[in-house]
Amino acid sequence: MKKLFTALLGISLLVGCADEASKETGTEKLPIVKEENEALNDLPEYDLLAQYIDLSTYEADVESDNNGTRVIFFENEEGQKDYKSVFVKEANHLKLVSLDDDGLIYDDVIQ
């Protein structure tokens, strides 16, 4: 009886931890897009991004952010990448591309 109880307890813990782990790894998209994108507010390219992209409906996914460049993809509710921004830090140059038929949206130095 003790072995059965221990086995059931162990399985319950594993199932509970698996659900928690999937939430932490981002496998489930949460509809808190606006709050997540507030982290972009301090970026020098934020004003231009907000001018061309409705940041309340797209989730920002920072693909890379190193000493030279920052690449951000903007995903819609279905997880499809609709926009890509590339910011060259030293030159203060921003390139914003629509990944559908529109193509290049912005390509200039930020003042």
Any idea of the CA torsion for 8, 10, 11, 14, to the nearest 10 degrees?
160
pLDDT digits (tens, 9 = 90+) for 28-68: 444 445 556 777 888 999 999 999 998 888 999 999 999 99
The β-bridge partners of 95 are: 86, 107
**77-101 average pLDDT score:** 94
Q: What is the pTM of this model?
A: 0.67
What pLDDT, on a 0 to 100 scale, did the predictor assign at position 93?
97
